[in-house]
Amino acid sequence: MDDRQFRNAMGKFATGVTVVAAEVDGSVHGMTANAFMSVSLNPKLVVVSIAEKAQMLEKIKQSGTFSVNILAANQQDLSMIFAGQVKNNKEVVFDHLDGVPVVPNALAQISCMVSATHEEGDHTLFIGKVTGIQVNDSEPLIYYSGKYRSLAED
């Protein structure tokens, strides 16, 4: 199989959209990611997968903390900014949860402390011990087959 076929197959898995954020030397860095999942309830652990070529990789290593922000349907613009799809100089102002930068009004804000890293293929998996959670009620931003989507009403 070629890379495009693999990517197309993986795109058939509908996911939520997150922004992963970390702060280094007082500067907040973020990236859009859909490679996120919960790992454990006790202790509360999550994992994000970051490409070795992504600038965020070193930022999380330096910080030792990160947040996962599950975006709401009305936050597609933030997803596009942090995916590098929009070259807008719009400044994004972050809130903080447990001392970690989080995206305001995200569906869920999850602050984490890095508890382990695993290098696999061309990515590093960061296991995060959850240190704080804030949940809001709204519709999620969905990504499927290379496009943003929304939930259909029943």
pLDDT score, position 8: 85
Q: Is the pLDDT of residue 59 over 90?
A: yes
Q: How far is CA 81 from its chain centroid?
A: 13
| Residue 107 per-residue DSSP state | S
- 10-34 pLDDT, tens digit per residue, is 888 889 999 999 999 999 999 999 8
pLDDT score, position 85: 86
How much of the chain, in percent, has pLDDT values that exceed 90?
77
Q: Tell me how far apart the alpha carbons of residues 18 and 72 are, in angstroms, rounded to a whole number.
A: 9
Q: Is the pLDDT of residue 125 over 80?
A: yes
Q: How far is CA 113 from its chain centroid?
A: 14
pLDDT score, position 1: 78
E strand intervals along 25-74: 27-33, 36-40, 45-51, 65-70
Q: Tell me how far apart the alpha carbons of residues 135 and 70 are, in angstroms, rounded to a whole number.
A: 9
Q: What is the three-class DSSP state of 20? A: strand
Side-chain-side CA neighbours of 67 within 13 Å: the count stands at: 31
pLDDT score, position 154: 61
pLDDT score, position 123: 95
- 60-112 pLDDT, tens digit per residue, is 999 999 999 999 999 999 999 999 888 766 788 999 999 999 999 999 999 99
Q: Tell me how far apart the alpha carbons of residues 128 and 106 are, in angstroms, rounded to a whole number.
A: 19
Q: Tell me how far apart the alpha carbons of residues 14 and 74 are, in angstroms, rounded to a whole number.
A: 18
- Rounded to an integer, the average pLDDT of 129-142 is 96
pLDDT score, position 153: 67
Q: How far is CA 65 from its chain centroid?
A: 13
pTM exceeding the 0.95 threshold for the entire prediction: no
Residue of 6 and 110 predicted with greater confidence: 110
> Any bridge partners for residue 108, and if so which?
70, 135
Cα dihedral sign, 91-96-97-99? positive
Side-chain-side CA neighbours of 27 within 13 Å: the count stands at: 5
